[in-house]
Amino acid sequence: MKIGYVRVSTAEQNTIRQEILMKELGVDEIYIDKVSGKNTHRPQLKSMLEYVRRGDTVIVSEISRFARNTRDLLDLVETLTAKGVEFVSKKEAIDTTTPTGKFMLTVFGAVAELEREYILQRQKEGIAAAKEQGKYAGRKRNEYTDLDRVLDKWRGGKITATAAMRELGMSRSTFYRRVREEAK
């Protein structure tokens, strides 16, 4: 079987271009993730890896849709290879059944990782420039109207820290950061 894997970084992004390519290539089954490719913790990727079997071919439109760093790419392809599954990236014309294809996979994987690092670097530079101009202040801080009351109950031993976090709808790290801030 031909198995297609499609990924975009956010739920708002469109997968149509990749889906059309998969249909043109005669793909039998398509798995679609709408999450970042920064790691392999993607529900449809995991489902696809469980589904494929010996003789199948996994097809992606381009390597960056499959993995964003070389280690993840090589690990994923190794997982597929161990199951007897071929990997094809259409844009880069990579087919892992050949030694040249395996070599090119490594090269293009490194390029995809470099591209990701450039994106992150440009994002950091843009944020720094915006901060200098007073146009970026980061994410708005959540205000908790009951914070003092709940912290008093917690400090008085009437509730546990976990109960206080639950009551405030606050994560553990945020809770203890606010406790430190209140102590100052």
**More confidently predicted of 85 and 140:** 85
pLDDT at 161: 93
Neighbours of 87 (CB within 10 A): 25
C-alpha 156/C-alpha 24 separation (Å) is 66
The DSSP secondary-structure symbol of 60 reads: E
Q: Given a cut of 80, is residue 95 above it in pLDDT?
A: yes
**Hey, which residues are catalytic here?**
9
What are the tens digits of pLDDT across the range 113-134?
788 889 889 999 998 898 888 8
CATH superfamily of 2-121: Resolvase, N-terminal catalytic domain (3.40.50.1390)
Residue 109 pLDDT > 80, yes or no?
no
What value does the mean pLDDT of the chain take? Answer: 89
Banded model confidence at residue 108, pLDDT cuts 50, 70, 90: confident
Residue range 61-72, pLDDT digits in tens? 998 899 887 788
SS (H, E, C) 23-48: HHCCCCEEEEEECCCCCCCCHHHHHH
Q: Taking the model in full, what pTM does it have?
A: 0.60
- Vertex 123 angle, CA 33 and 16, to 5°: 30
Q: Which uninterrupted H or E stretch holds 8?
A: strand 2-8
**Confidence (pLDDT) at 53:** 96
Instruction: Residue 95: count other Cβ atoms within 10 Å of its Cβ.
Output: 16
Residue spans of alpha helices (H) in 11-156: 16-24, 43-51, 63-66, 70-82, 99-132, 147-155
For the stretch 150-173, pLDDT in tens is 999 999 999 999 999 999 999 999
The predicted pLDDT at position 2 comes to 96
What DSSP character marks residue 145? T
Tokens matching residue 149: 């009351």
**CA–CA separation, 77 vs 88, rounded Å?**
10
Q: What is the pLDDT of residues 35-94, one digit of tens each?
A: 988 889 999 999 999 999 999 999 999 988 998 877 888 889 889 989 999 999 998 888
Read off the pLDDT of each residue in 96-105 and give the average, rounded to a whole number: 82
pLDDT of 10 strictly over 90: no
| Sheet order of strands, 86-89 included | 29-34, 2-8, 57-60, 86-89, 94-95
| Mean pLDDT on 106-118 | 81
